[in-house]
Amino acid sequence: MIAYANELVTDPIEFEPYAGKLRLTYKKPKVGDWIKAPSAKSWEPGILRARIRDLRDHPAKRGPERMKKLHVRRQWRCMDKLLCQVCAHPAADPVSGLMSWLLPATAFERTGPQSGRTNAPPTCWGCIPKAMEECPMLLSSVSLCTVKQVRPAGVLADMYRPGLLRTLEPTGLNVFVAWDDYQRHRYALATSQVIELHGMRSVA
């Protein structure tokens, strides 16, 4: 889940005219840069997703871990498929169907008595000890719960607005942008996917 130094990409971004408005784009766009909202109409451009390399299987090339950087595509895949962030196997318990979730306080926002939003992927029961060991900062502020269901919620994004002469100005880091908040999609560079957890129960 953590990105390695040489996986980080700093390709330049800019605003471009799109359907009568401006939207954020990489200067040299590639197919797959934009991610569609789950409920999007076909004409919605989607959200620009931050690029990243995948060098996990190349220890000689990947460089040191960058503890504060999530790997964008690995995080996305874990959320789409509900895979354990440590072993990448399905996180749901095969018997109960419940998913186990380690929730750092900084990556969780409560939305109801048994629900909340997070960009932390699930952790299967087998990997919970390892996850706690590898990430000691988790210990002080983490809660462990089971989750019945999840729903797509949106993304965390770095936000920009057009400046003078085709420049851009940052306006916020790690801002939550909901999938149905279409007006803000064109100003967002998504760095992780956020889902809403339902039927949460804390595990003592």
Kindly report the number of other CB atoms within 10 A of residue 117's CB atom: 19
Residues 62-91 that bind Zn ion (CB under 5 A): 84, 86-87
- Minimum gap (Å) between residue 1 Cβ and Zn ion: 11
Determine if 99 is a binding residue for Zn ion (CB under 5 A). no
Comparison of 124 and 155: residue with beta carbon closer to Zn ion:
124
Residues 123-152 that bind Zn ion (CB under 5 A): 124, 127
Nearest CA to 200 out of 92, 95, 98, 81 is that of 98
- Minimum gap (Å) between residue 115 Cβ and Zn ion: 24
Considering only 20-28, 56-64, 73-81, 121-129, which stretch makes contact with Zn ion by CB under 5 A? 121-129
Alpha carbons 46 and 64: distance in angstroms, whole number: 32
Is residue 131 helix, strand or coil? helix
Number of residues that bind Zn ion (CB under 5 A): 5
Report the run of H or E that residue 80 belongs to, with start and end.
helix 72-81
In the chain, % helix, strand, coil (3-state, to 5) comes to: 20, 45, 35
Partners of residue 102 on adjacent β-strands: 144
Comparison of 48 and 127: residue with beta carbon closer to Zn ion:
127
Q: What does the DSSP assignment read for 9-36?
A: ----EEEEEETTEEEEEESS--TTSEE-
- Minimum gap (Å) between residue 126 Cβ and Zn ion: 5
- Minimum gap (Å) between residue 132 Cβ and Zn ion: 13
Residues in contact with Zn ion by the rule CB under 5 A: 84, 86-87, 124, 127
